[in-house]
Amino acid sequence: MKEQKIILENIESFEPKHIFECGQCFRWDKQNDESYTGIFKQNVLNVKKDKNKVIIKGICKNDIKDVVYDYFDFATDYNKIKEKLKNVDNYIKESIEFGNGIRILNQDLWETIISFIISANNNIPRIKGIIQRMSKQYGKKIEWNNNEYYTFPSCEELSNASVEDLRKLGLGFRDKRVYETTQIINTKKVNLEQLKNEENTKKLREQLLELPGVGPKVADCILLFGLKRWEVFPIDVWVKRVMNELYIKNSDEKKVNNTQIEELAMKKYDKYAGLAQQYLFYWKRETA
């Protein structure tokens, strides 16, 4: 395949570091020149910001213009949403200013499901390593600039991996969960195309929760990152921490009720809770 390239000028709300290091994705790596290279679907792209220009080049299955428009969510007006959120209070305002270039990527549903099952009680460097090894073992190779990249394995490709195979790749206790969820999806006991057409977010969430390894937090991440449901507010240790410190002020963080956090988030951020969560997560993690 031939390399394609696109240059975006005077684009606002686009900062590679913010986008790729806010915890939503696991397959983008920083290069020596501060650009980021990543793999999604059958594409390998490098993203470099130079003043007010964003230069994106790489190997794309389709026209890079369309691929980039969809993946980087150019249909959404982030400036407008940020202005609204900044009026909520000074805490969210500060977190938005800190991570002002965040965008929520439109990621593949299948990859999002498996990636966030792997994320359970895990840290980001290790999650990235596991996914990299899984892709190398079961995905397809793409060559570009004398480097080898591997696509995230399709459900069918991953169904060739046994529980023991997965354990060898370092998944730990998540091996069984990934294995079983892969079988369920591969045999269409849960049909992902059908899930994409479900309009009711609550019903959608209930179906996701039936997958092994998918609990409340992982389900919310799948809804937000794989199904464009911005009204959900995934609560992990970092978000729990920041919400407790800012608003709830319970001396024992572990005793904070998730329901209380959720209600607070709905009241404050409403249909943009998911984006607000990303600003808060990135802010807290980077300044910790």
Partner DNA sequence: ACCCAGGGTCGTC
Partner DNA sequence: GACGACCCTGGG
Residue 101 contacts DNA per CB under 7 A:
no
Task: Indicate which single residue of 94, 212, 229, 256 sits in contact with DNA (rule: CB under 7 A).
Answer: 212
Interacting stretch for DNA, rule CB under 7 A, among 9-17, 43-51, 192-200, 236-244?
236-244
Interacting stretch for DNA, rule CB under 7 A, among 40-48, 83-91, 151-159, 163-171?
163-171
**How near is the Cβ of 15 to DNA at its closest, in Å?**
15
Residue 216 contacts DNA per CB under 7 A:
yes
Task: Indicate which single residue of 59, 85, 221, 242 sits in contact with DNA (rule: CB under 7 A).
Answer: 221
Give dist(CA 231, CA 220) in Å, integer: 10
Task: Indicate which single residue of 11, 55, 88, 120 sits in contact with DNA (rule: CB under 7 A).
Answer: 120
**Contacts with DNA in 238-277 (CB under 7 A)?**
238-239, 277
- Which tokens sit at 93? 């305002």
Residue 223 contacts DNA per CB under 7 A:
no
Residue 93 contacts DNA per CB under 7 A:
no
**Contacts with DNA in 125-154 (CB under 7 A)?**
125-127, 129
Residue 38 contacts DNA per CB under 7 A:
no
Question: For the window 180-199, what string marks contact with DNA as x by the rule CB under 7 A?
Answer: --------------------
CB of 219 within 8 A of CB of 202? no
Task: Indicate which single residue of 14, 16, 18, 24 sits in contact with DNA (rule: CB under 7 A).
Answer: 24
Residue 172 contacts DNA per CB under 7 A:
yes
Size of the site for DNA (CB under 7 A): 38
Residue 214 contacts DNA per CB under 7 A:
yes
Task: Indicate which single residue of 30, 50, 237, 287 sits in contact with DNA (rule: CB under 7 A).
Answer: 237
- CB-based burial of residue 249 (10 Å sphere; 0-12 exposed, 13-18 middle, 19+ buried)? exposed
Residues that bind DNA (CB under 7 A): 22-24, 119-127, 129, 167, 170-174, 177, 212-219, 221, 234, 236-239, 277-278, 281, 285
